[in-house]
Amino acid sequence: MLQDSVVAIVPDEAVRDILPAIHRAGLGHVARLIRAGRSSVLEQLQRAGVPVAQAPEPLLQCQAALLVNAAARSPMAGSLALQHGASQVWTVSALGAWNEIEDVILVQPNVHELPPHPARLVPGRAAQPAATVPPGPDPAPQPTE
């Protein structure tokens, strides 16, 4: 595993809410629902490339987990899982650190408090417009003697 991943414990009643949300966010192709069957969820995570040496205790008993290999979009994927019913969510680093996501983070800037954008010079244009001569009648040619 070369990037951060999201691992979420998913109760059976939340699967039908979480999976469509993950697909709507464009993460469906990197998501995988892992169910305990022939092998435990932890063993399947290990086969998928997730470092499990420091895996938290709740993963040992869970029946289903969602794995999202989202790299830079891991915080968004974790937030989506929490919003749609995951009981616990972690981001897992490539080095094996498990960090629990405990709250949904919503960031909405207040555009009324932002400073005004300073004027920028456009390359290829002068800072001041060139002075122009107002159009008028052409002066009459001077007769030559």
Alpha-carbon distance of 48 to 61, in angstroms, equals 18
Q: Is the pLDDT of residue 122 over 80?
A: no
As a CATH number, domain 5-101 is 3.30.70
Q: Give the pLDDT of residue 4.
A: 86
Q: Minimum mean pLDDT among 18-27, 84-93, 95-104: which range?
A: 95-104
**What contacts 24+ positions apart, CB below 8 Å, involve 29-32?**
30/68, 30/69, 30/70, 31/66, 31/67, 31/68, 31/77, 32/66, 32/67, 32/68
Q: Give the pLDDT of residue 126.
A: 62
Q: Give the pLDDT of residue 64.
A: 93
Q: Is the pLDDT of residue 145 over 80?
A: no
Q: Is the pLDDT of residue 20 over 60?
A: yes
Pairing of strands 64-68, 31-35: antiparallel
Write down the domain spans for the chain. Answer: 5-101
Residues 30-89 have pLDDT tens digits of 999 999 988 999 999 999 999 999 999 999 889 999 999 988 888 889 999 999 999 999
Mean pLDDT of the chain: 82
Q: Is the pLDDT of residue 1 over 50?
A: no
Alpha-carbon distance of 34 to 10, in angstroms, equals 9
Rg (CA), the chain: 30
